[in-house]
Amino acid sequence: MRNPSRQRPVRAAALTAVVVVVIVLVYALSGGLHSGSKSRSVVLVPQDDYYSLPGEQYNAISFIVQGTSVITGTFTNTLGLVVYVLDPTELAAFNHNGTVGAYEWSSGEIANLSVYQLDTQVPAGQWSLTFVNPNVLNTTVVGFYTAVVLAPA
């Protein structure tokens, strides 16, 4: 004869396993496990952040997008700036040569003390949003009025 007290833990474990499987399936089917979810935005630089760029230095923020995306944000700088979107090969060439020979997108020279509204599309791939101080001797400070956000187009 079976002992009913031994069957209870087995039944409880089986019931728990079924509940966990159902929860995981519902989560997966609702898109919860899909890493490239189209509704996701990523903050590349938080609002109210700032950093200093010494003369002829840069700050590159790397990211990967699965499909066409848009980068938006608002910032200012103290002594001039150029912003680029570079792929890994372009960034490596920039690191090696100190000049940007090719790029996906460029802001052009942004004047000192101006407010710049970033709004550019990038295709699927690996990219770096690169803030470059073109001044030879002087440090520029970049301050962000809004977050710089990457979102699906």
pLDDT of amino acid 36: 47
Domain ranges of the chain: 1-34, 42-152
Can you identify the CATH homologous superfamily of domain 42-152? GOLD domain (2.60.120.680)
User: What single-letter amino acid sits at 57?
Assistant: Q
Ramachandran category for residue 47: left, alpha or beta (phi over 0 → left; psi -120 to 50 → alpha): beta
Window from 1-10, 63-72, 75-84 with minimum mean pLDDT: 1-10
Q: Which has the closest alpha carbon to 124: 95, 152, 82, 96?
A: 152
pLDDT of amino acid 84: 97
Q: Are 148 and 76 in contact (CB under 8 A)?
A: no
- Does the pLDDT at position 86 exceed 80? yes
pLDDT of amino acid 18: 53
pLDDT of amino acid 142: 96
Q: How confident is the model at residue 99 (pLDDT cuts 50, 70, 90)?
A: confident
pTM, rounded to two decimals = 0.74
* pLDDT tens by residue, 23-45: 655 555 555 544 444 568 999 99
